[in-house]
Amino acid sequence: MYSIQQASQLAQVPSSTIRYYEKIYLIPPIKRNKQGHRTFDDKDIEILNLIRCFRSLGMSIEDIRASLSNINLEHEDTNMKTILSQHKKKLEEQIVILNAYIHEIEGKIVS
């Protein structure tokens, strides 16, 4: 079992962010010890690491929430590939839209 400070270091996520994720129900409710302090296990750390990874890839909180609901940690590699493929497709769609905006702006600059 880990304290919130230890979990923060292991997952490379600030303690305040962990509390926020718990508050918005992005992570399951964290277990508490007799003193009421949060205690984290390896599964909690793994989930925090996944969230950090997804955030670093630009995924929104809502996309992460949806992805986590479909994750089976025992088959994480397969799930990750599917999730990342879906996220890649969304990013490619955004690129097409942004390129259209750029083209439109360039046309107005030249005029």
Rounded Cα gap, residues 39 and 47, in angstroms: 14
For residue range 27-39, list pLDDT tens digits in order. Answer: 988 999 999 999 9
- What pLDDT score does 87 carry? 80
Q: Within the chain, which residues score under 70 in pLDDT?
A: 72-79
pTM of structure = 0.70
Q: What is the DSSP string of 41-99?
A: -HHHHHHHHHHHHHHHTT--HHHHHHHHHT--GGGHHHHHHHHHHHHHHHHHHHHHHHH
CATH class held by domain 4-110: mainly alpha
Q: What does the domain layout of the chain look like in residue ranges?
A: 4-110
- What pLDDT score does 85 carry? 83
Rounded Cα gap, residues 44 and 50, in angstroms: 10
